[in-house]
Amino acid sequence: MADNATTPLIETRGLVKKFGSFTALNGVDLTVYPGEVHALLGDNGAGKSTLIKILSGVFKPTDGEIIVEGRPVSFASPRDATNAGIGTVYQDLALNALTSVTRNFFLGREITHFSSPFGLLKMGEMDRIATEEMAKIGINVADPNQPVGTMSGGQRQTLAIARAIYFGAKVLILDEPTSALGQKQQMEVLKTIRKVQKLGDIAIILITHNEIHARLIADRFTFLSLGEVIGRGTSKELEGDDIKRLMAGGAEIGDLAKELAD
């Protein structure tokens, strides 16, 4: 699926992030192409969340470059990243559980009759769009006025993803989208990711701990350990054991078995 001839959608070169004297990222290169699902894997504390927080404008890198569609960029705020087409679906999803699906879908970007905070909401139009956009990636909401709190975890993921896409995300960053979910809902989210992939050119950066999920839907892998890239490749290039080994931080299964035996 990924075609190396095309320009990468998003690229980082030598990204460094220091928290005081602690180096969370130490020269990370990441290349993501249009239309691919790019799995970002690594142990706890490897620096995955730090990396995506830089990409989504939450942190500023200490050093290094971010290049979006061939142009170097610098984000002063999450807003800048959103405007550059980077949509982040956080672990807590940034939803207000107490209000409706539609109100969450358009949160901060409501459609109003006059472009003023006191302009009346175009509720009908917003309901229609929210329902349509969520249907596109696989969920039929029975009632766009139902509070988000009454939806399942998988449905909330879909809502957050549909929202990011509708507001122009070219790269979707999903930070452990399946970690807090049950088996059935995890599959729902994977299906949603597939549907997004089928929409066309949207790239997805998927952070996960789950090797099986990564294997099931990722086209390309980048492995982080202790703030550095220790391996990368497409799904074809990597053998089954490679993934397991790199996820464990580069140690051989044999070494681990030995460590346990000691």
Nearest-approach distance from CB 91 to ligand ADP, in angstroms: 10
Q: Which two tokens stand for residue 24?
A: 């969370």
SS3 183: helix
Q: Does 109 bind other proteins (CB under 8 A)?
A: yes
Of 12, 49, 104, 178, the residue at the interface with ligand ADP (CB under 6 A) is 49
Q: Does 46 bind ligand ADP (CB under 6 A)?
A: yes
Of 2-10, 37-45, 87-95, 152-160, which segment contacts ligand ADP by CB under 6 A? 37-45
Among left, alpha and beta (phi > 0; psi -120 to 50; other), residue 168 is left
CA nearest neighbour of 59 among 45, 47, 41: 47
Q: 90 is in the binding site of which of other proteins, ligand ADP, Mg ion, none (Cβ under 5 to 8 A by kind)?
A: other proteins
Q: Does 78 bind other proteins (CB under 8 A)?
A: yes
Q: Which two tokens stand for residue 29?
A: 């290169």
| CA distance to 47, 122, 128, 175, per residue, from 56 (Å) | 14, 29, 29, 11
Which residue lies nearer to other proteins by CB, 59 or 106? Answer: 106
Q: 128 is in the binding site of which of Mg ion, other proteins, ligand ADP, none (Cβ under 5 to 8 A by kind)?
A: none
Q: What is the C-alpha separation between 128 and 206, in angstroms, rounded?
A: 29
Binding mask of the shown chain, residues 122 to 141, with x at each position contacting other proteins by CB under 8 A: -x---------------xxx
**Facing residues of 236 across strands?**
none
Q: Does 44 bind ligand ADP (CB under 6 A)?
A: yes
Residue 174's H or E segment, with its range, is strand 171-175
Size of the site for ligand ADP (CB under 6 A): 11
Q: Does 24 bind ligand ADP (CB under 6 A)?
A: yes
Separation of first and last alpha carbons in the chain: 44
Q: 22 is in the binding site of which of ligand ADP, other proteins, Mg ion, none (Cβ under 5 to 8 A by kind)?
A: ligand ADP
CA nearest neighbour of 225 among 51, 9, 13, 12: 51
Contact positions toward other proteins, by CB under 8 A? Answer: 78-79, 82, 90, 92-99, 103, 106-110, 112, 116-121, 123, 139-143, 146-147, 149-152, 154-155, 185, 188
